[in-house]
Structure 1
Amino acid sequence: MNKIPNRQVICDVLVEEAKKDKDIVVLCSDSRGSASLAPFADTHPEQFVEVGIAEQSLVSIAAGLASCGKKAYAASPACFLSTRSMEQAKVDVAYSNTNVKLIGISGGVSYGALGMTHHSAQDIAIMGSIPNMRVYLPSDRHQTKCLIKALLSDEKPAYIRVGRNPVEDVYSPEDTSFVMNKATVLAEGSDVLVVACGEMVRPALDGVNLLKEKGVKAALLDMYCIKPFDEVTFLKYLNEVKAVVTVEEHTYLGGLGSLVSQITARENPKKVMNLSLPDEPVITGNSKQVFDYYNLNAQGIVTAVMELLV
């Protein structure tokens, strides 16, 4: 079982790249520990800015540094970064089109028992609604590494959400199959299309494998790029199946499921089922307990598909 969280991978990549590129600067809001950024602060203190618990200032300062030619990576808990500093993300980063990468750590229900105040079940909807803001939810450590390296080579704003805990690998170092802004096809099938993002990709893959044992041919897309959405790949598979199931660690309002439903209704109407968090404060528990309660697991995906195909 993998023991390396995606947040640590982000730090590892930035530590190495900052040795060669002195324009890389990392900022955090008193979260270097929870963001796994302490090694960066220790290795590159002159390229690290500690803002304190001030998310709005974090984003504005990052935008200011970017306007001076720096490559700014601002990390903070996703629940606060996507809500407290939405105006700064909208105006200072996106509207001004500055080279700021916003890293939402401990996304979704990662904070578990801390409850709704610390959950980020609306961040896809919030950040995705901002013009010029790209939204990414990498599914494992290998994809996270590829994504961060790719983002270092462009100068556009982006929001990246990762969880708090290590997640089981979806890919391997030898076969990550990463193409920037293009969904990864993890399984082929003609009965149903499963579209997942972030930490839900691994249970979706397990669910698709269980469906195969039942004789159900399910295609699976890892839609790590929520915005820009890879409509070309999605439509290719949509046209070949009878129904669609989306899986996300987010409310069904304004997330992956909403986007898939809109495109499906517009291009090729057919049944769509959204597996997501409800529009209510979720139960108290760790990530697995929350996922199991709301059927955001392999068996829940199997059940949903079987019901949809009846």
Structure 2
Amino acid sequence: MRDTFVKTLIEIAKADKDVHLLTGDLGFGVLKPYWEQLPEQFTNIGIAEQNMTGIAAGLALSGKKVFTYSIGNFPTLRCLEQIRNDCAYHDANVKIVCVGGGFVYGSLGMSHHATEDLAIMRALPSVVVMAPGDLTEAAACTRAIYEHQGTCYLRLGRGGEQKIHESISDFRIGKAIQIKEGNRVVVFSTGGIFDEALGAVELLNDRGIYPALYTFPTVKPIDRELIRACAKEYDLIVTVEEHNIIGGFGSAVAEVLSEMSGNRAVQIKIGLNDTYSCIVGTQKYLRNEYGMSAEKIAERIWEYLYV
């Protein structure tokens, strides 16, 4: 995803000289093509994320369209006050990019696990929050936040994500995308964990259960219309996110469901169960340990339906 983001941003920045990319002394192997081609539209701020965000706000309020880039929690939690006070409050045209959402940097421990970022960024008024599920969505999200006036958050995986779409004909902020039709159960996924959600659906297909499947590249604004329609059509909604189940994607869906009257689907939230990971390991290993692997997701759905 990060390579796709950089490639897309290069295309955007070549056409718009007001685009400027700031990095917190990270991502040099990935960002090198950008700074070599657009040196006047790039600044390395150093390991000083609060300064990076303050500078981004100043540039944006001077007419620039600014992207900040770092890994894990560094461009969000480390500089939350600057995002809130300098960027979001002023509706500044700053696009905050995190590479390594969830357990991507699992081997580096809890300080590098981005598992509360969606909830925190979603709580900031007027901030758009996006988490693409594949490379095609990553490119579409990059263009969408560039075109959007105001502060945005883009949560990327790292690399190797499974390709979902060859193309997306009508991509819009705030709209989910259907991947599979189904019955009884519908699975909603956001971000790079889509491969586990898809794997779970395929495992259930082998057992005679055929869930519908949607990807949500936008967490805020959430696709309320689609959620309501699915709540009336299906018995069970399963939300899958590589994130704490408190306050994130699953909570955004639950907020919509809570406002509905009459009969509606029950929801199961798959994610990190309101804890910190004290385990060090690969992303795949940690997903399985915390119930987010395809096998664990499928088993959770099976147990709800038949146990």
Superposed pair shares fold, TM > 0.5:
yes
Distance 2:85 2:65 in 1: 18
Contact residue 101 and residue 156 of structure 2 kept, 8 A: yes
User: What is the percentage of aligned positions where both structures have the same residue?
Assistant: 35
Select 1:185's aligned residue among 178, 181, 205. 178
Give the drift of 1:91.
1.2
Partner of 1:272: 267
Contact residue 144 and residue 172 of structure 2 kept, 8 A: no
Give the drift of 1:210.
2.6
Structure 2 residue 214 is matched with structure 1 residue 205: no
CA 176–138 in structure 1, closer or farther in 2 if over 3 Å, else same: farther
Partner of 2:131: 137
Structure 2 residue 299 is matched with structure 1 residue 306: no
Q: Match for 1:266: what amino acid?
A: E
Contact residue 136 and residue 161 of structure 1 kept, 8 A: yes
Structure 2 residue 277 is matched with structure 1 residue 284: no
Contact residue 97 and residue 156 of structure 1 kept, 8 A: yes
Contact residue 227 and residue 256 of structure 2 kept, 8 A: no
Give the drift of 1:105.
1.3
Contact residue 271 and residue 308 of structure 1 kept, 8 A: no
Give the drift of 1:279.
2.5
Distance 1:227 1:275 in 2: 18
What are the within-5 Å matches in structure 2 for residues 124-273 of structure 1? 124-172=118-166, 174=167, 178-267=171-260, 269-273=264-268
Q: Match for 2:24: what amino acid?
A: S
Where in structure 1 are there 5+ consecutive unaligned residues?
1-5
Distance 2:170 2:148 in 1: 20
Distance 2:148 2:168 in 1: 23
Distance 2:65 2:252 in 1: 30
Give the drift of 1:266.
2.5
Where in structure 2 are there 5+ consecutive unaligned residues?
none
Select 1:60's aligned residue among 54, 64, 72. 54
Select 2:28's aligned residue among 24, 33, 36. 33
Q: Deviations over 1:162-182 (max 9, x none)?
A: 12232111222x457633320
Q: Match for 1:181: what amino acid?
A: G
Distance 1:96 1:13 in 2: 27
Distance 1:72 1:98 in 2: 9
Partner of 1:14: 9
Partner of 2:293: 297
Contact residue 234 and residue 265 of structure 2 kept, 8 A: no
Q: Deviations over 1:235-272 (max 9, x none)?
A: 11111111111111001111111222232232155422
When the two chains are superposed, the root-mean-square deviation of aligned CA atoms in Å is 1.6
Q: How many corresponding residue pairs?
A: 303
Q: Match for 1:300: what amino acid?
A: K
Give the drift of 1:287.
0.5
Distance 1:166 1:54 in 2: 29
Q: Match for 1:290: what amino acid?
A: L
TM-score for both structures, normalised by structure 1: 0.93
Distance 2:28 2:273 in 1: 30
Select 2:18's aligned residue among 23, 47, 71. 23
Distance 1:163 1:249 in 2: 10
Q: Match for 2:284: what amino acid?
A: K
Deviates more, 1:276-285 or 1:119-128: 276-285
Contact residue 111 and residue 286 of structure 1 kept, 8 A: yes
